[in-house]
Amino acid sequence: MSNLKDLKKIIAKKNPLWISFVILFSGILITLLFSNYVRLEDESRTQREFEQVCNEIKSKIITHIGIQTEFLISGSSLFEASNEVTREEWSSFNKFSTTNVKFLGVQALGFCTIIKKSEVQKHLASIQKGFPNYKIFPAQDRAIYTSIIYVEPFNQTNAVAFGYDMFLEPVRRKAMQNARDYDRPTISDKVTLLVENKNKPQAGIVIYVPVYKAIPLNTIESRRKAITGWIFCTFRMDDLMKSIWKTSYMIDKKNIFLKIYDNGIISQKSLLFDSQNNNLKEDQQTKTRSIPVFFNDKKWTLVFSLPAESGFSFSTKVLIIFIGGLIISLLLSALFYSLLITKKRARIIATHLSSDLLHKNKEYEKINKMLKKNYKKLNSSKEKLDSINKELEKAKVKAEESDQLKSAFLANMSHEIRTPMNGIMGFTELLKEANISLEEHKNYIEIIEKSGTRLLNIINDIVDVSKIEAGLMQVSLSAVNIDHQIQYIESFFRPEAQDKNIQIIIQKNAIPYPTIINTDSEKLYAILINLVKNAIKYTVQGTIELGYEIKSDYIKFFVKDTGIGISVDRQIAIFERFIQADFNDKMARQGAGLGLAIAKAYVELLGGKIWVESQPDKGSTFYFTIANGTKVVNNYVAENNVPLYKKFCEVKNLKILVAEDDSISRMLILKVLEEYGSQILIAQTGLEAVEICRKNPDLDLILMDIQMPIMNGYEATREIKKFNTKAIILAQTAFALEGDEAKTLEAGCHGYISKPIKKEELSNLLQFFFCK
Ligand code: ADP
């Protein structure tokens, strides 16, 4: 449950997107700050470099001009020191300069001499000796002439200036006068050199150094008198600056522009040099720096300009840093976001897993419990199985035993049936012989009768067991004098006991009057007979005691003998049907093993129990109890049973029908009926019986066999009852089953008699129905 709550909480928790945004914004902020710092750093470095470049250019210009001026001063000294400097001398003096024109940026180095008007012709003549075309120009009349007589390098370009009177040109003159008057190197204002291309002239300057005669030069006047000429050099400003530019290693790297203005005047007119030739766009923002440069009284203004990067433009480096920072910030925030999402998912998965685990755990616990239960069940099942196994083992032993018993039983039954049958058959055979005495004849007949009784007893026992098993054995209650019964049994068995030299003793009860109880007389009789019969059978010598005790609500009987006894392990089994205590014992084979089973069933029907106390070779005592005043189970038979006492009358001259399919039974019955009938008719099937009945409506008695071919006794009775209600129908039943008796009465019979028909029983019945 708690896990489910946790899971809901985790899922409900919003994605921590804001943290990623914070990271992104922080990253961007840091990137911006850093980029700005780098930009400022760049700018300040650029500024420093810019200033450095400006200073470097400035000093280079000063150095260049200075070197040149020094050279001019040397040239002036050369002229002042010697009377005459020849063209060759001047040329070799200028050798360094002329061979390094490009390096120094010098256009020309020359000497310009002063010529008085009077000496012009003489001068022209002397020069024209070497250079016939030489002339002083411009051709204009004046008091003083000046002329460039030496110019180096004396090439075709510079030769243009040969003979040129610079003094006539005002800008140059001003510089020349300044140099003359103050005895100092003087740089002219901006001029256009003669050598210049007329279409696209460069700005030029000339530096003048005066050459004086060797006289004192203290005053301007004295200098004006002493002046003989000027050493000069001309510069084309672009060339000059190019030579300087070339030697500056930084200028190329930086996008720095330079303009040089003459005399501190910033104007196109005074522009001496423009590194961009005015290509710089007007609207372009520039960073400028003006530096004044002084050469004596000459002032140049150097205007350096550095195009400023536009307001928000960044250097590549800053841009890289900015973009890089931005990308890193984005990646970081994305990474963090994905980490958080992953963490959340991991937590969800973990929570799922832990809830799964919890669930599984519970299931395992359940399974465990079930297993434990099952284990217990298994254990108990195992125990049960063990006990079943033991039972089976017992059953197996029993089965083996009962197999033996079965064989023993069959042998027994065979013996039990064959023995009397042998007697009957053997002595019947002997009876056929003619020469037997009357006594022998009587003796044989007795033996045959005994054997028949014995056979009938066995059959009765089997029938009784069948009845008991089928639940058809019923109790027929009546008042029974048990003293009489015991007495009768003693007298019944006395001859048999005496034959074996055994004494039967009745243990008399102390009560002075006879004991009469409400019970089933036949069954009590059968129980006692069985027990006493066994006692005689299993006793070799000694006594048999017989008696009973009256208890509060039951009576306890006992039959005690001094016989062979029964081992303890067989004392319960002997009450089972077909079981004998020792089936190998020869004596035991004298019975079918049914007597005690029947006795037990009867005892139980009478509401009691039976048991034995015995020791082998010492004797046995059989006890059984019966309830005193046992409830009547079914009194139908009792009510309808034929009473044995009747008023005596002679039954004669009856018209009788005997329905019997078996010829021997028929013969017997005919013999028994002889004395009662005047006319006896015979039917062999039920159908025949019905037919005979139709033809003889005056029949008095019908003895109806139940089991007949074509139509059985029940059906035949029903049919006869339809047209003859007068004739008495008695059913003959072979097995005398309780159900059969009821059925016969139900079918319409007036009574029944069991086979084999006994004369006495039949007589009783006939007296009952015909002695009215
Ligand atoms: P049986 O027809 O064999 O006598 P019973 O059911 O009457 O059959 O008796 C079962 C067995 O019990 C006998 O086979 C015998 O082994 C034993 N038995 C019965 N009564 C006695 C007795 N009084 N003394 C010794 N053994 C007896």
CA of 411 to the centre of ligand 1 (A): 16
Look at residues 171, 191, 189 and name the one whose alpha carbon lies nearest to residue 295. 189
Average pLDDT over every residue of 448-453 = 86
Lowest mean pLDDT among 15-24, 312-321, 545-554: 312-321
CA of 447 to the centre of ligand 1 (A): 25
What are the Cα distances from residue 201, in Å, to 154, 160, 260, 398?
21, 15, 16, 151
CA of 584 to the centre of ligand 1 (A): 13
Q: How far does the chain reach from its first CA to its final CA, in angstroms? A: 99
CA of 581 to the centre of ligand 1 (A): 6
Cβ(535) – ligand 1 distance below 6 Å: yes
pLDDT single digits (tens) 737-749: 556 677 888 888 8
Tell me which DSSP letter residue 552 carries: S
Average pLDDT over every residue of 447-466 = 83
> In the predicted model, is pLDDT for residue 197 greater than 90?
no
- Cα torsion 593, 596, 602, 606 to 10°: value is -170
Cβ(526) – ligand 1 distance below 6 Å: no
Share of the chain above pLDDT 70, in %: 87
Cβ(545) – ligand 1 distance below 6 Å: no
Look at residues 722, 744, 724, 723 and name the one whose alpha carbon lies nearest to residue 733. 744
Q: What is the pLDDT of residue 567?
A: 92
Q: Ligand 1 pocket test: which of 580, 583, 614 has the largest number of ligand atoms within 8 Å of its C-beta?
A: 580
Q: Can you tell me whether residue 479 is helix, strand or coil?
A: strand
Q: What is the pLDDT of residue 257?
A: 82
Q: What is the pLDDT of residue 584?
A: 57
pLDDT single digits (tens) 713-733: 999 999 999 999 889 999 887
Q: What is the pLDDT of residue 165?
A: 93
Lowest mean pLDDT among 86-100, 180-194, 208-222, 499-513: 86-100
Average pLDDT over every residue of 387-391 = 84
Average pLDDT over every residue of 7-17 = 65
Lowest mean pLDDT among 132-141, 206-215, 451-460, 544-553: 451-460
CA of 400 to the centre of ligand 1 (A): 21
Q: What is the pLDDT of residue 738?
A: 56
CA of 588 to the centre of ligand 1 (A): 7
Q: Which residue has the higher pLDDT, 224 or 707?
A: 224
* Residue 527, Cβ density class (10 Å: 0-12 exposed, 13-18 middle, ≥19 buried): buried
pLDDT single digits (tens) 550-589: 887 889 999 999 999 999 988 998 898 776 666 555 444 4
pLDDT single digits (tens) 628-663: 764 333 332 333 344 443 446 778 889 999 998 888
Q: Ligand 1 pocket test: which of 538, 539, 603 has the largest number of ligand atoms within 8 Å of its C-beta?
A: 538
> In the predicted model, is pLDDT for residue 754 greater than 60?
yes
Q: Which residue has the higher pLDDT, 486 or 246?
A: 486
Cβ(619) – ligand 1 distance below 6 Å: no
Average pLDDT over every residue of 411-429 = 78
Cβ(412) – ligand 1 distance below 6 Å: no
Place of tokens 């038979």: 637
pLDDT single digits (tens) 33-79: 888 888 888 788 878 888 888 888 888 888 888 888 888 898 898 88
Cβ(204) – ligand 1 distance below 6 Å: no
Average pLDDT over every residue of 213-231 = 90
* Residue 470, Cβ density class (10 Å: 0-12 exposed, 13-18 middle, ≥19 buried): exposed
What is the DSSP pairing of strand 654-659 with strand 701-705?
Answer: parallel
Look at residues 623, 596, 597 and name the one whose alpha carbon lies nearest to residue 609. 623
Cβ(574) – ligand 1 distance below 6 Å: yes
pLDDT single digits (tens) 474-523: 888 888 888 888 988 998 899 899 999 999 999 987 776 778 888 888 88
